[in-house]
C-alpha cells in the first residue's frame, strides 16, 4: 500500500504566511483600537467628573461673589454718605451719633472666599488634559487668572483697611460707639431719634479730621475697585465657564 505525501508549493506557503501575518496585524490593530477607545472612555469620564465638581464650586462661588458685590455697594454708599457728612461738618452741625453710625458702617468689608480645591487639583495634577475643548480650557485659565489677580491684592486690601481702622480709632470712642449700637439694637424703631444724639468725638483737631477723611476716601476707592474689577472679573469669568461646562457636558 502506497502512502502519498502532500507537497506544499512555494505559492501555498506564501498564502499561508500572508494569512497568518494578516490575522496577527488585524488582532494588533483591533487591540490597539479597543485600548484607545477604552482610554478615551476613561478620560471622558474623568473629565466629566472634574467638570461636575468644578461646576459645583463655580455655582457656589458665583453666589458668594454676587452677595459680596451687593454688600460692598452698600458699604460704599455708607462711605460716600460719611464723606458728605464730614465735608459739611464745619458749616452745619451734624449730630455726633450720625457720624458714629455711618463711620462704623463704613468700616465694614468682605472676605474674598472661593472654592479652589477642584481648580487647584486640575492644575497641579495635569488633569486639564482631560478637557479636549480648547475654548473650555481657555475659560478655565481666564477664571484662574481673575482669582489670582484678587488674591494678589490681599496686602493692598489689608493696608487700606488698617489705615481706616487706625484713623477711626483716633476719632471715635469705642465706649460711645458701643452704647449707641446697643441702643439701636434694643430700640430699632427709635433709630432716627437716636441718630440725632449729640455724642462727642474724641477730637475736633482739623489735622485728625483730615486724616480720617483721607483714609476713608482711600478705603472707598479700594472697595470700588473690588466691585468694578477684582470681584466682578472672577464673577463674569465664572458665569461664562458655567455656561461652557453645561454646554460641553450636557449638565
CB neighbours (10 Å) of residue 119? 22
What pLDDT does residue 211 have? Answer: 94
Tens-digit pLDDT profile for the chain (251 aa)?
455 555 555 556 666 666 666 666 666 666 565 556 666 656 668 888 999 999 999 999 999 999 999 999 999 999 999 999 998 876 568 899 999 999 999 988 888 889 999 999 998 888 888 888 889 999 999 999 999 999 988 889 999 999 999 999 999 999 999 999 999 999 999 999 999 999 999 998 989 999 999 999 999 999 999 999 999 999 999 999 999 999 998 88
Given a contact cutoff of 8 angstroms between Cβ atoms, the answer to whether 95 and 197 are in contact is yes
Provide the pLDDT for residue 5.
Answer: 52
What own/partner pairs with CB < 8 Å and gap ≥ 24 does 170-173 have? 170/202, 170/203, 170/208, 170/211, 170/212, 171/103, 171/201, 171/202, 171/203, 171/208, 171/209, 171/212, 172/99, 172/100, 172/103, 172/104, 172/201, 172/202, 173/199, 173/200, 173/201, 173/202
State the residue for C-alpha cell 482669582: 147
Q: How far is CA 102 from CA 68, 76, 84, 95, 98, in A?
A: 19, 11, 11, 11, 6
Contact 65, 113 (CB under 8 A): no
Contact by Cβ (8 Å): 117, 237: no
Cell 478655565 locates to: 140
Q: In the chain, what is the greatest distance between 2 CA atoms, to the nearest angstrom? A: 139
* Closest listed residue to residue 143, CA positions, set 123, 163, 129: 123
- What pLDDT shows up at residue 175? 95
Amino acid at each position: 500500500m502506497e502512502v502519498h505525501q502532500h507537497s506544499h508549493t512555494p505559492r501555498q506557503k506564501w498564502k499561508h504566511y500572508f494569512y497568518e501575518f494578516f490575522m496577527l496585524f488585524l488582532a494588533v490593530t483591533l487591540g490597539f483600537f479597543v485600548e484607545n477607545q477604552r482610554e478615551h472612555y476613561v478620560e471622558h469620564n474623568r473629565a466629566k467628573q472634574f467638570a461636575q465638581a468644578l461646576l459645583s464650586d463655580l455655582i457656589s462661588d458665583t453666589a458668594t461673589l454676587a452677595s459680596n458685590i451687593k454688600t460692598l455697594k452698600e458699604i460704599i454708599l455708607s462711605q460716600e454718605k460719611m464723606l458728605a457728612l464730614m465735608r459739611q461738618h464745619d458749616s452745619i452741625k451734624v449730630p455726633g451719633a450720625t457720624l458714629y453710625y455711618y463711620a462704623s458702617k463704613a468700616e465694614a468689608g468682605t472676605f474674598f472666599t472661593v472654592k479652589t480645591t477642584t481648580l487647584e487639583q486640575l492644575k497641579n495634577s495635569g488633569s486639564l488634559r482631560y478637557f479636549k475643548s480648547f475654548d473650555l480650557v481657555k475659560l478655565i485659565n481666564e477664571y484662574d487668572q481673575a482669582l489670582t489677580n484678587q488674591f494678589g491684592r490681599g496686602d493692598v486690601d489689608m493696608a487700606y483697611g488698617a489705615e481706616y481702622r487706625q484713623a477711626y480709632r483716633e476719632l471715635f470712642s469705642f465706649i460711645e460707639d458701643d452704647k449707641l449700637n446697643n441702643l439701636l439694637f434694643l430700640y430699632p424703631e427709635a433709630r432716627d431719634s437716636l441718630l440725632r444724639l449729640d455724642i462727642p468725638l474724641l477730637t475736633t483737631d482739623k489735622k485728625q479730621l483730615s486724616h480720617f477723611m483721607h483714609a476713608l476716601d482711600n478705603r472707598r476707592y479700594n472697595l470700588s475697585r473690588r466691585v468694578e474689577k477684582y470681584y466682578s472679573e472672577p464673577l463674569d469669568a465664572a458665569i461664562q465657564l458655567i455656561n461652557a461646562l453645561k454646554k460641553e457636558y450636557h449638565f
